[in-house]
């Protein structure tokens, strides 16, 4: 294939998955190994590959969905109905179906996900699977101005250090105890942003436990002295993809993505905790609802809830803006029961958000998503900070 033909072919393949090899001859072997691997998820016939030369002796193996398969299962890069379109049922093994959904979303992505090896790719998919499964089990108490952790596993290290591990406690067990009431019988206080951090960290730690125990030991030691939080958490653990200039499609989500829904109402966005909503995409068209685990959000139900935050905002006797959730819930129910009103709200809300500081005609949909850096033993991108 000459360079111009290869370039046109590459453009037509769009995003998908890229595996980079040190030797061009390895690309054919990688393609064969990938097909064998995809056969475990009944996807071998759904994929097309292209080998492109890079600098020196390197080559890139580009893997994408065949156009007919993508058009049938995720038209317009819409992944929200993948579970059903792939033929999964309640009887389908949950973890298998979730991994299959992740494979298809990555292969059909408009963004190109690059991995240094097949091992790095499969590790990435397992971490996403872990996160989505953990998010489905997570239930917490929503508190924007308070925090609580199970004392058998965590201790308060102060404002600077945050909650740190009790000596000798397993990080996986500690994160599970803090987020999954099935383990403790109790709901602990979290903000939505901090909750996503715990679930992401748990998904990573579960992968490290079996695949990279040396790195897990380092992660364990770090959490015994300091919690990595907020902006630093994003920098240390996550990769952001999409941008305001090149937004991701509004219905494209990969299980294990962390994302933000923006509150487009200027007044109610000043209520602490209601600037927007951080969630994890759990697959099957569902987004995490850590406060009501048994009623996860759809894209539409989340948008309608955020729309009515403007109606629930009020000023208390001290002059502080607060949110009346009972008002929000009642109005959400009314809107859901009125097809015309529902369509009107969704037309307004399911738009890309305005830029930071702008409250105009934008909706609640963000242009970016986030996912964990590679933690595979052979190609680890995670560099832990020192404190």
pLDDT at position 148 = 86
pLDDT at position 125 = 98
Quick check: 169 pLDDT over 50? yes
- Both tokens assigned to 133: 């499964």
Quick check: 192 pLDDT over 50? yes
Question: Model confidence at 56, in pLDDT bands (50, 70, 90)?
Answer: confident
pLDDT at position 190 = 87
Quick check: 121 pLDDT over 90? yes
Question: Model confidence at 191, in pLDDT bands (50, 70, 90)?
Answer: confident
What is the tens place of the pLDDT at every residue in 97-114?
999 999 999 999 999 999
What is the tens place of the pLDDT at every residue in 158-168?
888 899 999 99
Quick check: 6 pLDDT over 90? no
**Residue range 237-245: mean pLDDT, rounded:** 96
Domain spans in the chain, listed from the N-terminal domain onward: 3-108, 249-367
What is the tens place of the pLDDT at every residue in 65-93?
999 999 999 999 999 999 999 999 989 99
Greatest mean pLDDT range, 225-229, 328-332, 382-386: 328-332
pLDDT at position 4 = 44
pLDDT at position 22 = 67
pLDDT at position 55 = 76
pLDDT at position 25 = 74
State the pTM of this model: 0.94
Helix (H) or strand (E) holding 190: strand 189-190
3-class secondary structure, 239: strand
**Residue range 351-371: mean pLDDT, rounded:** 96
The CA-CA-CA angle for residues 156, 158, 163, to 5°, reads 35
The DSSP result for 31-93, as a single string, is HHHHHHHHHTTT-GGGEEEEEEE-STT-EEEEEEE-HHHHHHHSGGG--TTHHHHTT--TTS-
- The answer to whether residues 351 and 362 touch, using CB atoms and an 8 Å cutoff, is yes
Return the axis-axis angle of helices 213-223 and 192-211, rounded to nearest 10°. Answer: 140
Helix (H) or strand (E) holding 280: strand 276-283
Question: Model confidence at 3, in pLDDT bands (50, 70, 90)?
Answer: very low
- The answer to whether residues 385 and 217 touch, using CB atoms and an 8 Å cutoff, is no
Quick check: 264 pLDDT over 70? yes
**Residue range 271-288: mean pLDDT, rounded:** 96
Quick check: 5 pLDDT over 70? no
Quick check: 224 pLDDT over 50? yes
Question: Model confidence at 218, in pLDDT bands (50, 70, 90)?
Answer: very high
Question: Model confidence at 8, in pLDDT bands (50, 70, 90)?
Answer: very low
Burial of 206 (0-12, 13-18, 19+ CB in 10 A): buried
Quick check: 145 pLDDT over 90? no
Quick check: 2 pLDDT over 50? no
pLDDT at position 144 = 62
């Amino acid at each position: 294939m000459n360079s111009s033909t290869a370039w046109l072919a590459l453009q037509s393949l769009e995003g998908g998955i890229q595996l980079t090899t040190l030797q061009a001859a390895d690309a054919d072997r990688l393609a064969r190994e990938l097909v064998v691997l995809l056969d475990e998820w009944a996807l071998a016939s759904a994929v097309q590959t292209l080998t492109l030369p890079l600098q020196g002796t390197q080559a890139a193996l580009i893997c994408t969905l065949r156009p007919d398969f993508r058009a049938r299962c995720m038209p317009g890069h819409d992944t929200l109905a993948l579970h059903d379109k792939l033929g999964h049922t309640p009887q389908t093994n949950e973890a298998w179906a979730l991994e299959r959904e992740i494979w298809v979303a990555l292969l059909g992505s408009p963004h190109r996900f690059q991995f240094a090896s097949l091992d790095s790719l499969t590790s990435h998919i397992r971490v996403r699977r872990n996160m989505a499964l953990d998010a489905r089990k997570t239930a917490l108490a929503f508190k924007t101005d308070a925090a609580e952790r199970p004392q058998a596993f965590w201790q308060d290290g102060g404002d600077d250090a945050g909650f740190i591990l009790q000596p000798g406690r397993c990080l996986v067990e500690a994160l599970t105890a803090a987020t999954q009431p099935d383990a403790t019988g109790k709901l602990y206080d979290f903000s939505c942003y901090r909750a996503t951090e715990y679930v992401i960290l748990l998904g990573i730690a579960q992968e490290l436990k079996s695949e990279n125990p040396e790195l897990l030991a380092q992660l364990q030691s770090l959490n015994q002295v300091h919690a990595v939080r907020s902006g630093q958490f994003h920098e240390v653990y996550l990769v952001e993809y999409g941008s305001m200039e090149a937004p991701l499609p509004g219905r494209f989500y990969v299980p294990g993505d962390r994302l933000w829904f923006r509150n487009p109402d200027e007044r109610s966005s000043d209520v602490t905790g209601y600037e927007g909503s951080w969630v994890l995409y759990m697959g099957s068209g569902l987004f995490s609802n850590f406060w009501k685990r048994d009623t996860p959000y759809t894209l539409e139900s989340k948008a309608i809830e955020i729309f009515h935050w403007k109606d629930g905002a009020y000023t208390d006797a001290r002059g502080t803006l607060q949110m009346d959730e009972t008002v929000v819930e009642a109005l959400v129910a009314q809107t859901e029961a009125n097809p015309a009103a529902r369509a009107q709200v969704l037309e307004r809300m399911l738009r890309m958000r305005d830029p930071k500081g702008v409250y105009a005609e934008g909706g609640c949909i963000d242009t970016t998503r986030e996912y964990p850096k590679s933690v595979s033993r052979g190609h680890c991108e995670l560099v832990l900070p020192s404190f």
